[in-house]
């Protein structure tokens, strides 16, 4: 029963993402500053961590996506690890995580 409820909540939370991706986004210019895009990030994080934790990660990404925010490669974490749902700990704020010549800083 718990799994069914979690599935229903996950699908319900992902409906607005689906509506945005296929109803609004095609009519606007490409404007996401990240890879994967914010809607892809939100969809993946909700699939991976459920409606609550994935939703918090998606919200944190949306708060970083603005002209003065972060940009570039910012994948969904594979696991939440030691930080739990402290969403500000998972964002890629500087670009130092990018390897293989994309970033010239300390690694």
pLDDT in tens, 78-107: 877 766 666 566 555 555 555 544 444 444
Q: What is the pTM of this model?
A: 0.70
Is the pLDDT at 75 greater than 80, yes or no?
A: yes
Query: Which class for 9: exposed (0-12), middle (13-18), buried (19 or more C-beta within 10 A)?
Result: middle
Torsion angle of C-alpha atoms 66, 90, 88, 82, degrees rounded to 10: 170
Residue 27 has pLDDT above 70, yes or no: yes
What stretch of H or E contains 72? strand 72-73
Q: Quick one: pLDDT at residue 90?
A: 59
Is the model more confident about 89 or about 17?
Answer: 17
């Amino acid at each position: 029963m718990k799994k069914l409820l979690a599935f229903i909540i996950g699908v319900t939370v992902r409906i607005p993402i689906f509506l945005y991706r296929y109803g609004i986004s095609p009519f606007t210019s490409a404007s996401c500053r990240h890879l994967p895009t914010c809607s892809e990030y939100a969809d993946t994080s909700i699939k991976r961590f459920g409606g609550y934790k994935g939703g918090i990660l998606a919200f944190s990404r949306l708060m970083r996506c603005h002209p003065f925010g972060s940009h570039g490669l910012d994948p969904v974490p594979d696991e939440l690890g030691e930080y739990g749902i402290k969403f500000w700990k998972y964002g890629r704020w500087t670009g130092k995580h990018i390897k293989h010549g994309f970033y010239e800083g300390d690694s």
